[in-house]
Amino acid sequence: MTTKEIIAETDVKMNKTVEATLREFATVRTGRASTAIVDSIKVEYYGTVTPLKQLAAVSTPDARLIMIQPWDKNSLADIEKAILKSDVGIAPTNDGKVIRLSVPPLTQERRTELDKVLKKVAEEGRISLRTARHAAVEHIRKLEKDKAITEDEKFKFQEEVQKLTDKHIKDIDTTLASKEKEITG
C-alpha cells in the first residue's frame, strides 16, 4: 500500500466517523422538535423489526410537536409501544389516526444532562479519529522500516495524517459547539 493510498483511506475512515458522530448528535433531543429524534426507533410489525420511517410519515408541524402518521392504521399500537420502549423520553399521544409527541421545554437539569451526552458523543468521535490516525501512522512506520520510504518522507506523511485528524476533530468540535448553543439557547 502506498502512502497516498494510506492517506486517502484514512481520510475516508475519518469522514465516515464524522458522519456517524453528526448522526448521533442529531438524535440528541434539544428543545426543538426534530424528526431525527425518532429516526432510530425500530417497530416490531407483524413479527418483523422495521424502521419507523418505513411504516409512517414523520413530520414536525411546529417547533414543539412531532407527528407520526402510519400508512397502516393497524400499526398504531405497535408504533406507540416502540416509542415507549425507546430512549426518546417523550410520552406519545394516540388519537386513533396519528401519534403526537409533544416536546417539552428543557429544564436546566435536563440541559446539563444533554450537554454531558453531547460531550460523550463528541469524545467517542474524537477517539475514533485518533484510532484511524494511529493505524495510518503505523502503516507509514512499517513502510519506512521496510525501506519503501525515507525517514523524511515518513515525517512528512505523518504530518499530513495529523492535519487530516485536526481538520476532522475541528468539524466535530464545531458541531458540538452549535448543538450546545441550541440546548442552552
Which of 60, 80, 102 finishes a domain? 102
Co-location of 42 and 23 in the same domain: no
pLDDT average, residue stretch 52-65? 88
Are residues 57 and 23 located together in one domain of the fold? no
Q: Which of 32, 27, 92 is nearest to 63 (CA)?
A: 32
CB distance 165 to 130 below 8 Å:
yes
173 and 132 co-located in one domain? yes
Query: Is the per-residue pLDDT at 133 higher than 90?
Result: yes
Q: Are residues 14 and 47 in the same domain?
A: no
pLDDT at 172: 94
Residue 89 has pLDDT above 80, yes or no: no
Mark whether 42 and 22 lie in a shared domain. no
The residue type found at 154 is K
Task: Look up the CATH number of the domain holding residue 142.
Answer: 1.10.132.20
**Mean pLDDT across 30-36:** 75
Q: How many CB atoms lie within 10 A of CB 77?
A: 12
> 75 and 93: one domain?
yes
**Domain limits for position 98:** 35-102
For the chain, percent of residues with pLDDT exceeding 90: 42
Confidence of residue 171 (pLDDT cuts 50, 70, 90): very high
Q: What is the pLDDT of residue 29?
A: 65
Nearest in space to 133 (alpha carbons), one of 162, 171, 160: 162
- Shared domain for 111 and 180, answered yes or no, is yes
pTM of the model: 0.70
Q: Mean pLDDT across the stretch 3-26?
A: 91
Residues with Cβ within 8 Å of 117's Cβ and at least 6 positions away in sequence, in order, are: 28
Domain co-membership, 130 together with 155: yes
How many independent structural domains does the chain possess? 2
The last residue of a domain, from among 45, 78, 102 = 102
Same domain, 97 and 146: no
Q: What angle do CA 119, 106, 76 make, to 5 degrees?
A: 100
Domain boundary among 102, 134, 158: 102
Q: Which residues of 35-47 are buried (b: 16+ CB within 10 A; e: fewer)?
A: bbbbeebebebee
Reply yes or no on whether the pLDDT at 24 is more than 90. no
Please name the residue that has the C-alpha cell 468539524.
171
